[in-house]
Structure 1
Amino acid sequence: MSTFQYLLGICVAVVTFVIVIEMLRRRRLRERHAAWWLVAGALAIVVSVFPQLLDTAAGALGFDVPINLVFFVSLFVLFLVALQHSSELTELEAHNRAIVERLMVLELKLEHQLNEESQ
């Protein structure tokens, strides 16, 4: 690995980590959504600073090519993010359904009261 590639890897990992922290600070990203991105950013920084760790981990886990471990871990993190978002979407849909049902009951009660008053 050339010095340029080494420094580029470190810079990209640090910039990614800083962007996530800045989005948290500006409240553009919630903590529970940022957790996986912070983990991924921290792992990227560690692997960028100590690339031999990637070789060691890849060998220990049975990956012939270390970059395959990076792709596997990246896909796994993205899977966890998608799973978290699906879970939250399910909760929001249930919450919205409950709100709509309560609104319909209130509208029916109001309509019933208006009909009684007009008679």
Structure 2
Amino acid sequence: MRLTIAAIVVCLALVVALLHLLRTRRIREKYAAVWILLTLAVVAIGVFPGLAFWLSDLVGVQTPANLLFAMACLVLLAVCIQLSTEVSSLEEETRTLAEEVALLRLDVRQHLVRVQEQLPRADTTPPAERPGDQPRQEDAR
């Protein structure tokens, strides 16, 4: 009985933690839904231990613990595969965005070069040294 209560308390704590992660936007809904369903399954097996025996008989496993261990391994495998696909798609998206940023930087540099070529050059020689300039009357005094 104590083990059942402990399992229920742990599962309720997990649901509260998942809801907190959802509220703070640190986990997306699609991931939280899977974890909440798994938590509910653990609570159901904790409250109704006969369910584990029934499932093990249905599948043909001798002990429910072996069935639960195999199911846990399958769940972890599914989570690893799902996270690997997410990481792969994010990696591809990051590469695409980096390429787009590089192309935009190139366009900006080329545009700046064209604009600088079209601007008139500022004459940096002092006015007295420019050819064709006559000294002013005030400068002569």
Q: Do Structure 1 and Structure 2 share a fold, with TM-score over 0.5?
A: yes
Shift of 1:67: 0.9
Aligned partner of 2:32 among 34, 49, 53? 34
Alpha-carbon deviations, 1:19-67, whole Å to 9, x = none?
Answer: 2223223322210111221121010010011011001101111111211
Q: Which has the higher contact order (CA 8 A, sep 6+)?
A: 1
Aligned partner of 2:7 in structure 1 is 9
Bigger-Rg structure (1/2): 2
Query: Residue 90 of structure 2: SS of its match in structure 1?
Result: helix
Aligned to 1:94: 92
Aligned residues between the structures = 117
Maintained 8 Å contact 1:47/1:53: yes
Residue among 65, 75, 78 paired with 2:76: 78
Q: Which of 92, 102, 106 is the matching residue for 1:108?
A: 106
- Find the partner of 2:50 among 52, 56, 59: 52
* Preserved CA contact (<8 Å) 1:17 1:41: yes
Paired with 1:110 and 1:23, the residues of 2 have a C-alpha distance of 41
Q: Gaps (5+ residues) in structure 1? A: none
Unaligned runs of 5+ in 2: 118-141
The code of the aligned residue for 2:85 comes to S
The answer to whether the Cα contact below 8 Å between 1:36 and 1:81 also exists between their aligned partners in 2 is no
Q: CA RMSD in A?
A: 1.6
